[in-house]
Structure 1
Amino acid sequence: MQTIEKVGERFWYQTPVSETDRPILGMVVGRERRLMIDAGNSEAHARYFLEELEERGIGAPDLAVLTHWHWDHIFGLEWLHQHAVSIASSGTREAMEKLVPFSWSDEALDRRVEEGTEIEFCASAIKKEFPLHRDIRIALPVMTFENRMELDLGGITCVLQHVGGDHAGDSVVVYIPEERILFLGDCIYADIFSAKRNYTPGKTLALLEVLETFDAETYVLSHWKPVSKAEFREEAALLRTMAQLTDEFAGDSARMREAYEKRKGRGLTEEELETLEYFVNGVVLQKKTSMT
C-alpha cells in the first residue's frame, strides 16, 4: 500500500510499488509555486498522488520535472500536462521522442522483448499497471535544459542538474538546498537495458564525484526510500570501491572478491556480491562491444 510521507517542512513524497514498478513521486511546496518530481508510470499513479496531497491541503503542481526517460517516470505526463508545465533535460526529451511511435499492446511489447529493444521486467510491469485499457501516448516535456536549471518556488529553491550514470545517461537529480534533500531518481542504479545488468567504473566514479558536491542530509532513491547521509555514503563507498577494484583487476571476479574481503576482513554480503557481479558484467559487455 502506498503512503504519503513528509521530509522536512516543504517536501512530500509517495512511497513506491515494486510489482507495477511505480517509483517515488515527490512534491516541493513553495510559497508561490509547487514542483512535482517525476510524472508517474500512469495517469492512475499521478492522479492518486495528487489526490492524496489534496486531502492534506497541498494543491496541484505548477511545474513537473522528469528525472529520466524510462517509462515508469513519464507515462503519467500526458494527464499531468493539464496541471503543470513540464521540464526535462534535452537528453530526456530526445530519448522520449523515440518512444512516440511505439505501440504498447501485449503483442508489441512481447515483440520488442524478443528483439532485445525492451526488457521483460518493464514489459511485465506495464501489463500489470495497464491490465485493461492501454491507450498510452507519450507527452513530451514543454521546457528543456542542458546541464543545470534553478527554480525559485518562493522561499525554497530547486536545482535541477544533469548527472548521467549507467542507469540512464540523461539522469537528472533535484537538489533542495533549504531542506538539504537530494532527489536521486534512479541515477545510482545499474544499467538494466543491456543483456546483463551492469555498472562501468568510469561512469560510476564520475557520477559519485558530482553527487558528493551537494550538501545534503537526505537522499531519495526512487525505488527504495529516503536515506540518511551516512547510508548514502555507505552505498557510495561500496560503488567506488568496486569501481576501483574493477579497474585494478580488469574485471577479474575472483581477484576482486579476494581483495575486497581482505579490505573488509570478512566475506561479502549479498548486496556486495551483486554489485561486484554488475561491475564484472560491465567489463564483459565492453569487451564484446569492442570486438564487434
Structure 2
Amino acid sequence: MAFQHLAGRVWVCPGDPDPASVQAGVALVADERGSVLVDAGQSPAHAREIQAALRAAGLPPPRWLVYTHHHWDHVWGACAWPDVEIVGHVAGERLLREEAARPWSHRYLREQVRADPRLGPSFRARALAVDSWDGFAVLPPTRTFTDGLELPVGVTATHVGGAHAPDSTVVAVPDSGVLLLGDCYYPPPAHLRTPEDGPDLDLVRRLLTDDIHWYVASHGPPLALAEARAAVAAEA
C-alpha cells in the first residue's frame, strides 16, 4: 500500500482491487496549513496501513477527514484517526448515528447474515476487515453541510446524492484539477440492487467539465478527462 502523486496537492492511495474485500481507496490533499483526508479506510487496521503509507511518503497527517458517504468501507477507519475534524453531509450524519448504535461484533454480523443472506458479501468483508472490536466505534461527522462546504485550504465538498447513497458527496481540489467522486455514480449496494440498476451516467455527465483534469472513483484508477468521457460514452 502506497500513496501515489496524482496532480498538484493531491495524492491517492488505492484500495484493494479484489471486489470481495470491499476496500475503498483514499486521497490526501497535502497542505502546510492542514491536510485533508478523503475517506477514512474500511477499518482501524486499514487506517493504520494508510497512516504508515503517509509516513513513508513524507506526507503530513490530516487535519480534516471528509466522508464521501456513509458506507462502512469509507468510514469504519475513522476511529483510528486522531485529532481530525470529520466533515460529512447531514443525511450521512443521521444514518451514521443509527449505525453507531448497533452492537457491532462478529456474532452480530453472523446474526444479521442469517436474518438476511443478501448481506453476506458485505458482512463477511467487514468480519475480515476488523481484526479487533476493542475500541471500535462508528463516528458520525462532527461538522455537517447540506448543499456544500469549502474548507479553509480551498477544498470543496458538494452534495450530489444519487442511487448509491443519499449523502453522496464529491470533493474538488480546483487548483489541482482533481475531482474525488467517492461512489456517487455507482448503482445501489449489492444487497439493494435490482437487475435494472446501473451506473448513473447522467450524474457523471453533469460532473465532467474542462476545468477538472482528473476524476477519481473510490474503487477504480484515476481517469483523465478524456478517459472519463470515453468511459461514459462506452457505457451509454
Alignment of 1:226-241 (within 5 A): 226-239=222-235, 241=236
Unmatched runs of 5 consecutive residues or more in structure 2: none
Q: Percent of aligned pairs with the same residue?
A: 28
- Secondary structure of 2:124's aligned partner: helix
Q: Matched residues in 1 for 2:173 and 2:117: separation?
A: 35
Alignment of 1:279-290 (within 5 A): none
Alpha-carbon deviations, 1:31-55, whole Å to 9, x = none?
A: 3111000011111212221222123
1:220 aligns with 2:216: yes
Against the structure 1 CA distance between its residues 234 and 114, is the aligned structure 2 distance closer, same or farther, given a 3 Å change threshold?
farther
Is the CA contact (8 Å cut-off) linking 1:191 and 1:198 kept in structure 2? no
- Secondary structure of 1:231's aligned partner: helix
Alpha-carbon deviations, 1:3-46, whole Å to 9, x = none?
A: 22111131111111134322111100123111000011111212
Alpha-carbon deviations, 1:33-86, whole Å to 9, x = none?
A: 110000111112122212221232212101110000100111111221x22111
- Secondary structure of 1:119's aligned partner: helix
Against the structure 1 CA distance between its residues 198 and 109, is the aligned structure 2 distance closer, same or farther, given a 3 Å change threshold?
farther
Alpha-carbon deviations, 1:234-276, whole Å to 9, x = none?
A: 232345x3xxxxxxxxxxxxxxxxxxxxxxxxxxxxxxxxxxx
In structure 1, what is the equivalent of residue 15 of structure 2? Answer: 16
- In proportion to residue count, which structure has more helix? 1
In structure 1, what is the equivalent of residue 197 of structure 2? Answer: 199
Is the CA contact (8 Å cut-off) linking 2:201 and 2:232 kept in structure 1? no
Alignment of 1:1-292 (within 5 A): 2-17=1-16, 18=18, 19-80=20-81, 82-116=82-116, 119-130=119-130, 132-135=131-134, 136-153=136-153, 157-192=154-189, 193-194=191-192, 196=194, 199=197, 204=200, 207-212=203-208, 215-239=211-235, 241=236
TM-score, reference length from structure 1: 0.73
Cα deviation, residue 90, structure 1: 0.3
Against the structure 1 CA distance between its residues 207 and 114, is the aligned structure 2 distance closer, same or farther, given a 3 Å change threshold?
farther
Question: Residue type matched to 1:234 in 2?
Answer: A
Q: Matched residues in 2 for 1:85 and 1:172: separation?
A: 17
Unmatched runs of 5 consecutive residues or more in structure 1: 242-292
Is the CA contact (8 Å cut-off) linking 1:36 and 1:61 kept in structure 2? yes
Is the CA contact (8 Å cut-off) linking 2:23 and 2:42 kept in structure 1? yes
Question: Residue type matched to 1:51 in 2?
Answer: A
Question: Residue type matched to 2:48 in 1?
Answer: R
Q: Matched residues in 2 for 1:184 and 1:15: separation?
A: 14
Is the CA contact (8 Å cut-off) linking 2:185 and 2:201 kept in structure 1? no
Q: Matched residues in 1 for 2:80 and 2:69: separation?
A: 18
Q: Matched residues in 1 for 2:231 and 2:116: separation?
A: 30
Q: Matched residues in 2 for 1:23 and 1:147: separation?
A: 24
Against the structure 1 CA distance between its residues 218 and 162, is the aligned structure 2 distance closer, same or farther, given a 3 Å change threshold?
same
Bigger Cα Rg? 1
Is the CA contact (8 Å cut-off) linking 1:65 and 1:88 kept in structure 2? yes
Alpha-carbon deviations, 1:173-215, whole Å to 9, x = none?
A: 10111111110111121112315465279xx355235313572
Q: Matched residues in 2 for 1:213 and 1:231: separation?
A: 13
Query: Which stretch of structure 1 is more off in the superposition, 230-239 or 86-95?
Result: 230-239
Q: Matched residues in 1 for 2:7 and 2:90: separation?
A: 31
Question: Residue type matched to 1:140 in 2?
Answer: P
Is the CA contact (8 Å cut-off) linking 2:208 and 2:225 kept in structure 1? no
Query: Which stretch of structure 1 is more off in the superposition, 16-25 or 62-71?
Result: 16-25
Q: Matched residues in 1 for 2:75 and 2:2: separation?
A: 20
Segments ≥4 residues shifted beyond 3 Å: 114-118, 195-198
How many matched pairs?
Answer: 232
